Amino acid sequence: MPKKRILSGMRPTGKLHIGHYVGALENWVKLQNEYESFHLIADYHVLTTSLDTSDVYENSIEMLIDWLACGLDPIKSPMFRQSQIKEHAELNLIFSMLITVNRLERNPTLKDQIRDLNIENVIYGHLGYPVLQTADILLYKGNAVPVGEDQVPHIEISREIARRFNNQYGDVFPEPEALLTKFSRLTGLDGNAKMSKSLGNTILLCDDVETIKQRMKKAAIDPNKIKKDTPGNPDACTVYSYHKKFNDENIGEIDSDCRNGSIGCFDCKMKCAAKISNFLEPIIEKRKYYESRIDEVKDILHSGEIKGRKVAEETMSEVREKMKLG
């Protein structure tokens, strides 16, 4: 029995941070052994919030290096740029005819982005972001999509569009399911709900030991723990949430020491920084390998685009046949 397929991707923003790893990459690496996997560098999606494309290619290469360093296997998981496979745009056009403006305006993720980015005038492409995302998924007949909870409304739109097409023209597309990760989001160092390079509250996957220590010194803590021996509340501490991910074997001790005031916040932060550095060490070593072999990285990208294009062409041939456009 053939494996089911997944399609997942990210907008190319350059070097990735531990939030990307926890929220997506860790799960991708695991799932590539269970599913037939396709991974998209979503460079068209960049245009929904910025028209400046001058750094998109460089950022794509940096992101691809992090994907490889974290363990994505280009043999199991073809990786490719959205812009290099024209069928993404073609299927997006067709799908845009199968959904109303009112339905897209009800998308809660869009409302959050408008608020967070202080967008005054929503462009047509941004409103239709979930439609292009649907084309990305269904072009490869994705059965499942690894996402955080904030992306679930997009997957529901994808399911609706797949149903609408199948009912109108005949069965072509599966209705994709959302695969939620255990740690779907890692809080930013400042306690902000989102880790983001634009907010300066991240630890990058390539950060060295000293950089991580310096970043951790600024991490938000329980505001009521004002002295070393003051009892604290781990559940109100950003550092504790990092311990849960990167220091799970000692989490009971950290919890107890914080609550009874036997550990100070600085020492707690440095313990966490050391655990994160130990975790990132093999990723950094692998990253250095690919940084010194950029031609190999570009070959991996080119090979992935050939594989992705083959599947995309087959799907679009089927779509055109069903629509009597062939």
Which CATH number do you get for residue 73? 3.40.50.620
Q: What is the pLDDT of residue 109?
A: 81
pLDDT confidence tier of residue 182, bands split at 50, 70 and 90: low
Compute CA distances 175 → 88, 131, 239, 311, 320, whole Å: 18, 14, 39, 18, 19
Residue 198 forms part of a structural domain: no
Q: What is the pLDDT of residue 183?
A: 61
pLDDT confidence tier of residue 23, bands split at 50, 70 and 90: confident
pLDDT at 95 over 70: yes
Overall average pLDDT of the 254-258 stretch: 91
Pair 162, 176: CB distance under 8 Å: yes
- Is 211 found in the same domain as 122? no
Q: What is the mean pLDDT of the chain?
A: 93
CATH for 224 = 1.10.240.10
Q: What is the pLDDT of residue 144?
A: 94
Overall average pLDDT of the 50-71 stretch: 96
- Is 182 found in the same domain as 50? yes
Q: How many domains are contained in the chain?
A: 2
Q: What is the pLDDT of residue 147?
A: 84
Domain that holds residue 156: 5-186+294-322
- Is 306 found in the same domain as 179? yes
- Is 229 found in the same domain as 115? no
Query: Where does residue 107 fall: left (phi above 0), alpha (psi -120 to 50 degrees), or beta otherwise?
Result: beta
Overall average pLDDT of the 203-230 stretch: 92
Share of the chain above pLDDT 90, in %: 76
- Is 300 found in the same domain as 283? no
Compute CA distances 316 → 86, 130, 136, 256, 260, whole Å: 10, 19, 12, 58, 62
- Is 23 found in the same domain as 170? yes
**Sign of the C-alpha dihedral, residues 65, 67, 70, 71?**
negative
User: What is the rounded CA–CA span in Å between residue 60 and residue 70?
Assistant: 15
- Is 275 found in the same domain as 171? no
Mapped onto helix, strand or coil, the DSSP state of residue 120 is: coil
Q: What is the pLDDT of residue 121?
A: 84
pLDDT confidence tier of residue 108, bands split at 50, 70 and 90: confident
What does pTM read for this prediction? 0.93
User: What is the rounded CA–CA span in Å between residue 223 and residue 236?
Assistant: 8
Share of the chain above pLDDT 70, in %: 99
Euclidean distance between the first and final Cα of the chain, in Å? 30
Q: What is the pLDDT of residue 267?
A: 92
User: What is the rounded CA–CA span in Å between residue 146 and residue 302?
Assistant: 24
Overall average pLDDT of the 221-246 stretch: 90
Q: What is the pLDDT of residue 70?
A: 98
How distant is the alpha carbon of residue 285 from its chain centre? 22
Q: What is the pLDDT of residue 186?
A: 85
Overall average pLDDT of the 259-283 stretch: 94
Q: What is the pLDDT of residue 114?
A: 77
Pair 191, 220: CB distance under 8 Å: yes
pLDDT at 130 over 70: yes
Q: What is the pLDDT of residue 2?
A: 80
User: What is the rounded CA–CA span in Å between residue 16 and residue 62?
Assistant: 8
